[in-house]
Homo-oligomer: A and B are copies of this chain.
């Protein structure tokens, strides 16, 4: 059955690339905000939604973490990991040495600094709202310009690629999560995401909680914290562990921590992304 899938747009973003890899035959619709995708999934306006959650250079996408913490009726049902490969593009016929301005999202400009310093030392770097908006900004420029954007943006906008895979650090990966009303059935190669917080921080509360996993030999993939927004120094912890919430060890660990925390939410169990995909 064809499903409707919302993704963080506009068309041409890395999130669209991830959504296409995950569900090439489904109806994909760009949404302008992460919180809008959360509402669309929980209200049934779309079947699923794809949002970025973590980049290997920049860290967590805090909007997505806060959405998972606060929005009810939302589970993680899958994850997708793709390499982030920045491309440099310009209008056909632009001569490289004439380029005066280079547009992109500030993060992308920062990630290509060494390349730009070497190849375009005198070009002015100018911030755009997104890597896709950078292509529009470049097309509207009064002077010869280039844009750093995802490869897909080059053929959507009919512009010429003049630099391939130009990011300075090759270890640039982004992990996306697929949101649904329910999580994924057991597959045997799964991860589980949970979040929890404490009423007051006694010396050992986080330690004792992590112990429920360690004692059972459950590997933690990730430990992240977010403010509760109630007071400085009060945090909500987010943990990804190996295994499905229906595995005996994971189920017992979650049961064990439920008595130690003031808030506990299972964000979902879902198959681990295999990088060979």
Which A residues fall within an 8 A CB radius of B? Answer: 54-59, 62, 81, 169, 171, 173, 175, 201-204, 206-208, 210-211, 213-214, 217-227, 229-233, 235, 237
In the bound complex, what is the Cα–Cα distance between A222 and B222 (angstroms)? Answer: 16
Q: CA separation between A209 and B140, bound complex, in Å?
A: 54
List the B side residues contacting A204 at CB < 8 Å: 214
- Once the chains are docked, how many angstroms separate the CA of A58 from the CA of B60? 12
- Chain B residues near A207 (CB, 8 Å)? 207, 210-211, 213-214
Q: How far is the CB of A236 from chain B (nearest CB, A)?
A: 10
Kindly identify which residue among B54, B206, B219, B227 contacts A232, using a CB–CB cutoff of 8 Å: B54
With CB as the reference atom, state the residue of chain B lying closest to A54. B232
Report copies per complex.
2
Contact A171 B230 (CB under 8 A): yes
- Contact check, A171 vs B229: say whether CB atoms are below 8 A apart: yes
Complex CA distance for A59 and B224, rounded to whole angstroms = 11
- Known A-B contacts A220-B201, A220-B203, A227-B59; A81 and B232 likewise in contact (beta carbons under 8 Å): yes
Q: Which residues of B contact A225 (CB under 8 A)?
A: 59, 222-225
If A206-B223, A214-B203 touch, whether A232 touches B56 (CB-CB below 8 Å) is yes
**Are A219 and B203 within 8 A (Cβ)?**
yes
Q: In the docked arrangement, what's the CA distance between A202 and B56, Å? A: 20
B-chain residues with CB within 8 Å of residue A214 when the two chains form the complex: 203-204, 207-208
Decide if B229 touches A57 in the complex (CB within 8 Å).
yes
